[in-house]
A = this chain, B = another copy of it.
Amino acid sequence: MQTTFTIATRGPGLYEFTREVAQWVARSEPRDGLLTLLIRHTSASLLIQENADPEVQGDLRAFFHRLVPPADDPAMSYLTHTYEGPDDMPAHIKSALLPVSLSIPVQAGRLRLGTWQGLYVFEHRHAPHNRQIAAHLA
């Protein structure tokens, strides 16, 4: 079975969608199988991360902002693909560093994630976007 999840984002950061995915898996076939997700964009990522303390999400965003600063930061003066704004090429770089596809075994209709693992879209752009995630269960 396949479906598409659409996640609305409003600027850089993590957007959890574990519940939407778990609910779809719970009512789909097969009961035991493999779920695969692919984000259909090159300026946002998928991520499995801790879902307990929201400070983790802020720290992740801060780390990647420092590792890949905006194109108008002097450290990034070597970038050439800048006409779509200072957050565009850094978004492509972050989308290379972070997952574009993820696979999760399913047992008895449940994702075999660990206790503290949640599913996120990691948005890298400032403007609001609707991000599409293609899903496949078999």
Q: What is the interface of chain A, defined by CB distance below 8 A to chain B?
A: 2, 32-34, 36, 38, 40-42, 47-50, 53, 55-56, 58-60, 62-64, 66-68, 78-81, 89, 92-93, 95-105, 107, 112-117, 132, 134-136, 138
> A2 with B105: in contact, given A92-B56, A112-B134, A114-B40 (CB under 8 Å)?
yes
11 other A-B residue contacts (CB within 8 Å) besides A56-B89, A59-B81, A62-B78: A2-B107, A34-B36, A34-B138, A40-B115, A41-B114, A47-B96, A48-B101, A53-B81, A59-B79, A99-B100, A101-B103
Q: Could you say how many copies of this chain the assembly holds?
A: 3
Partner of A92, one of B42, B49, B114, B138: B49
| Contact, CB under 8 Å: B81 / A55 | yes
Q: Is the beta-carbon distance between A105 and B42 smaller than 8 angstroms? A: no
Known contacts A49-B42, A117-B42, A59 near B89 by CB under 8 Å? yes
Contact between chains at A59 and B100 (CB < 8 Å) = no
Chain B residues contacting A95 (CB-CB under 8 Å) are: 49
Chain B residue nearest to A98 in the complex (CB): B96
Distance between A70 CB and nearest chain B CB, rounded to angstroms: 13
